[in-house]
Structure 1
Amino acid sequence: MALEESHELPVYRRADAPTDARVADLLARMTIDEKIAQLHAVWLKLSADGHHAWRTEDFAQRDTGVPLDTLLRYGVGQVTRPLGTHTVDPKEGVKALNALQRQMVEETRLGIPVMAHEECLVGLMIKDATLFPSPLNYAATWNASLIKRVGKMIGEQARSIGCHQGLAPVLDVSHDPRWGRTEETFGEDPYLVGVMACHYVAGLQGERRDLLATLKHFVAHSASEGARNHAPVHVGPRELNDTYMLPFEMAVKLAHAGSVMPAYHDIDGVPCHTNQPLLQRVLREKWGFDGLIVADYAAVNLLYTHHGVARDAAEAAAQSFNAGLDVELPGHECALHLKEALARGEISEATIDAAVTRVLRAKFDIGLFEHPYADPERVNLRSNAALDLAHEVALESAVLLRNDGVLPLACDGKQKVAVIGPTADDPLALLAGYSFPVHLINSGETSNSSITTPLQALRDLLGHAQIIYEKGCAIIEERRAGAPVFPGDVSLDTRDVNSHDELISTDTSRLALAAQAARDADVAVVCVGDLSGLFQSGTVGEGSDTDSLALPGVQQALVDAVIATGTPTVVVMTGGRPYNLGGQEERVAAQVMAFAPGEKGGIALAELLTGRAGFSGRLPLSVPASAGAVPYVYNHRLKSAGTPVARHFGSRYPFGFGLTYTSFAYGDLQLTAANAPIADGTFEFSFSVENIGARRGDEVVQIYVRDRLASTSRPVKELKAFARVTVEPQAKARLRVRLPVDMLNFTDGNGERIVEPGEFELMIGSSSRDIHLNATLTVTGQATRVLERNWRMVSDVQAI
Structure 2
Amino acid sequence: MSLDHQSEVPVYRRADTPTEARVADLLARMTIDEKIAQLHAVWLKLRANGRHEWRTEDFAQRDTGVPLDTLLQHGLGQVTRPLGTHTVDPQEGVEAFNALQRQMIEHTRLGIPVMAHEECLVGLMIKDATLFPSPLNYAATWNPALVGRVGEVIGEQARSIGCHQGLAPVLDVSRDPRWGRTEETFGEDPYLVGVMACHYVQGLQGEKRDVLATLKHFVAHSASEGARNHAPVHVGPRELNDTFLLPFEMAVKLAHAGSIMPAYHDIDGVPCHANRDLLQGVLRDKWGFDGLIVADYAAVNLLYTHHGIARDVADAAAQSFNAGLDIELPGHECALHLKETLARGEISEVTIDAAVKRVLRAKFDIGLFEQPYADVARVNVRSEAASDVAHEVALESVVLLRNDGVLPLANDGRQNVAVIGPTADDPLALLAGYSFPVHLINSGESAHSSMTTPLQALRNVLGEAHVSYAQGCAIIEERRAGAPVFPGDVSLDTREVGTRDALISTNTTHIIAAAEAARAADVAIVFVGDLAGLFQSGTVGEGSDTDSLALPGVQQALLDAVLATGTPTVVVMTGGRPYNLGGQEERVAALLMAFAPGEKGGEALAALLVGHENFSGRLPLSVPTSAGAVPYVYNHRLKSAGTPVAWHFGSRYPFGFGLGYTRFAYEALDIATPTAPIETGTFAFSFTVKNTGARSGVEVVQIYLRDRVASSARPVRELKAFSRVTVQAGGAARVHVRLPVDMLNFTDGRGERIVEPGEFDLMIGSSSRDIHLHATLAVTGKATRTLPRDWRMTSDVSVD
TM-score range, shorter chain: over 0.9
Task: Name the counterpart of 2:395.
Answer: 395
Mapped partners of 2:187, 2:494: distance in 1: 34
- Residue number in structure 1 paired with 2:373: 373
Which residue of the partner structure matches residue 248 of structure 2?
A: 248
Aligned-partner SS, 1:215: strand
Query: Deviation digits for residues 293-346 of structure 1, max 9, x if unmatched?
Result: 000000000000010000001000000000000000000000000000000000
Task: Name 2:363's counterpart in structure 1.
Answer: 363
RMSD: 0.8
Does residue 22 of structure 1 match 2:22? yes
Report the CA distance between 1:377 and its aligned residue. 1.2
- Which residue does 2:229 correspond to in 1? 229
For 1:352 and 1:485, the matched residues in 2 are separated by 33
Residue 591 (structure 2) aligns with: 591
CA distance in 2 between counterparts of 1:630 and 1:476 reads 26
Q: Unaligned regions of 5+ residues in structure 1, if any?
A: none
The separation in 2 between residues aligned to 1:664 and 1:686, in whole angstroms, is 16
- Give the match for residue 74 of structure 1: 74
Cα distance, 1:118 vs structure 2: 0.1
Is it true that 1:548 corresponds to 2:548 in the alignment?
yes
For 2:661 and 2:175, the matched residues in 1 are separated by: 30
Taking the aligned partners of 1:643 and 1:208, their CA distance within structure 2 comes to 54
Partner of 1:348: 348
Question: In the alignment, does 2:576 pair up with 1:576?
Answer: yes
| 1:377-424 superposed Cα distances (whole Å, 9 cap, x missing partner) | 111111100000000000000000000000000000110000000000
Q: Which residue of 2 aligns with 1:622?
A: 622
8 Å contact kept, 1:616–1:699: yes
What corresponds to 1:449 in structure 2?
449
1:681 maps to what in 2? 681
Distance 1:127 1:498 in 2: 27
Post-superposition shift, 1:74? 0.3
- In the alignment, structure 2 segments of 5+ residues that lack a partner are none
- Please give the alpha-carbon distance, in whole angstroms, between the structure 2 residues aligned to 1:485 and 1:495: 12
SS state at 1:764 partner: strand
Report SS of the residue matched to 1:632.
Answer: coil
Partner of 2:196: 196
Aligned equivalents of 2:649, 2:399: Cα separation in 1: 22
Amino acid at match of 1:231: A
Answer yes or no: is the 8 Å Cα contact 2:89–2:127 preserved in 1.
Answer: yes
CA distance in 2, matches of 1:114, 1:137: 34
User: CA offset at residue 645 of structure 1?
Assistant: 2.7
The residue that corresponds to 1:324 in the other structure is: 324
Give how far 1:489 is off.
Answer: 1.6
Equivalent residues in 2 for 1:60-71, closer than 5 Å: 60-71=60-71
SS at match of 1:762: strand
Instruction: Report the TM-score, using the length of structure 2 for normalisation.
Output: 0.99
Match of 2:211 in 1: 211
Counterpart residue identity of residue 795, structure 1: S
Deviates more, 1:621-630 or 1:638-647: 638-647
Could you tell me which amino acid in structure 1 is paired with residue 347 of structure 2?
I
Aligned equivalents of 1:415 and 1:377: distance in 2? 50
Structure 1 residue 796 and structure 2 residue 800: aligned? no
Give the match's secondary structure for 1:688: strand
* Number of the residue aligned with 1:723: 723
Query: Displacement of 1:643 after TM fit?
Result: 1.8
Instruction: Name the structure 1 match of 2:335.
Output: 335
Q: What letter is aligned with 2:317?
A: A
Distance 1:305 1:561 in 2: 49
Counterparts of 1:175 and 1:609 in 2: how far apart (Å)? 31
For 1:131 and 1:118, how far apart are their aligned partners in 2? 14
Structure 2 counterpart of 1:756: 756
Give SS of 2:546's match.
coil
Match of 2:287 in 1: 287
- Partner Cα distance (1:343, 1:630) in 2: 50
- Are the counterparts in 1 of residues 484 and 496 from structure 2 also a CA contact under 8 Å? no
Task: Give the number of equivalent residue pairs.
Answer: 796
Distance in 1 between residues matched to 2:649 and 2:40, nearest whole Å: 47
Once the two structures are TM-superposed, the CA of residue 496 in structure 1 deviates from its matched residue by 3.4
1:488 Cα deviation (Å)?
1.9
Letter in 2 for 1:437: P
2:355 alignment partner, SS class: helix
Cα offsets for 1:243-294 (capped at 9, x unmatched): 0000000000000000000000000000000000000010000000000000
Q: Is the 8 Å Cα contact of residues 485 and 543 (structure 1) preserved in structure 2?
A: no
Distance 1:233 1:692 in 2: 47
Question: Structure 1 CA distance, aligned partners of 2:358 and 2:726?
Answer: 45
Q: How does 1:86-105 map to 2 (within 5 A)?
A: 86-105=86-105
CA distance in 1, matches of 2:382, 2:496: 43
- One-letter code aligned to 1:625: T
Distance 1:778 1:577 in 2: 38
Q: TM-score with structure 1 length normalisation?
A: 0.99
CA distance in 2, matches of 1:153, 1:630: 36
Amino acid at match of 2:470: E
Query: Which secondary structure does the structure 2 equivalent of 1:638 belong to?
Result: coil
Query: Which secondary structure state, in structure 1, belongs to the residue aligned with residue 586 of structure 2?
Result: coil
Give every structure 1 segment of 4 or more consecutive aligned residues whose post-TM-superposition deviation is greater than 6 Å: none
Q: How does 1:593-672 map to 2 (within 5 A)?
A: 593-672=593-672
Task: Measure, in 2, the Cα distance between the counterparts of 1:482 and 1:363.
Answer: 39
Q: How far off is 1:6 after superposition? A: 10
Q: Name the CA distance, whole Å, in 2 between partners of 1:628 and 1:784.
A: 39
Q: Which amino acid in 1 is paired with 2:390?
A: A
- Give the secondary structure class of the aligned counterpart of 2:640: helix
What is the SS of the residue equivalent to 1:703?
strand
Task: Look up the match of 2:172.
Answer: 172
2:569/2:589 contact within 8 Å kept:
yes
Equivalent-residue separation in structure 2 for 1:35 and 1:386 (angstroms): 40
Offset at residue 485 of structure 1 (A): 3.3
2:709 is the alignment partner of 1:702: no
Check conservation: 2:704, 2:762, Cα contact below 8 A: yes
Q: Find out whether 1:385 has 2:385 as its counterpart.
A: yes
SS of structure 2 residue aligned to 1:641: coil
| Structure 1 residue 644 displacement after superposition | 3.2
The one-letter code matched in structure 1 to 2:583 is: G
CA shift, 1:7, in A, is 7.0
Report the secondary structure of 1:673's partner residue: coil
Which residue of the partner structure matches residue 517 of structure 2?
517
- Residue 497 (structure 1) shift: 3.9
- Residue by residue over 1:516-574, the C-alpha shift from the partner in whole angstroms, topping out at 9 and shown as x without a partner, is 00000000000000000000000000000000000000000001000000000000000
Superposed CA offset, 1:436-479 (max 9, x none)? 00000000001011110000000000000000100000000010
Structure 1 position 601, deviation (Å): 0.2
Contact conserved, 1:444 with 1:480, CA < 8 A, in 2?
yes
CA distance in 2, matches of 1:25, 1:570: 66
Contact persistence 2:706–2:717 (CA under 8 A):
yes
**Number of the residue aligned with 1:766:** 766
The answer on 1:33 being equivalent to 2:15 is no
Shift of 1:494: 1.5
What is the CA deviation profile of residues 325-379 of structure 1, one whole-angstrom value per residue up to 9, with x for unaligned ones? 0000000000000000000000000000000000000000000000000011111
SS of the residue corresponding to residue 428 of structure 2 reads helix
The residue aligned with 1:107 is 107
Question: Do the aligned residues in 1 keep the contact of 2:531 with 2:538 (CA within 8 Å)?
Answer: yes
For 2:191 and 2:401, locate their aligned partners in 1 and report how far apart those are by CA, in whole Å: 23
Residue type at the aligned position of 2:65: G
Aligned twin of 2:745: 745
Q: Retained in 1: the 8 A contact 2:11–2:25?
A: yes
Query: How far apart, CA to CA, are the structure 2 residues paired with 1:471 and 1:150?
Result: 33
CA–CA separation in structure 2 for the residues paired with 1:142 and 1:617? 7
Deviations 1:595-645 (A, max 9, x none): 000000001000000001110000000000000000000000110011233
Match runs of 1:44-55 below 5 Å: 44-55=44-55
- Give the counterpart letter for 2:89 in structure 1: D
The answer for the alignment partner of 1:125 in structure 2 is: 125
Once the 2 structures are TM-superposed, how far is the Cα of residue 646 of structure 1 from its aligned partner?
2.0
What letter matches 1:313 in structure 2? V
Aligned-partner Cα distance in 2 for 1:7–1:190: 52
State how far apart, in whole Å, the 2-side matches of 1:517 and 1:787 are: 62
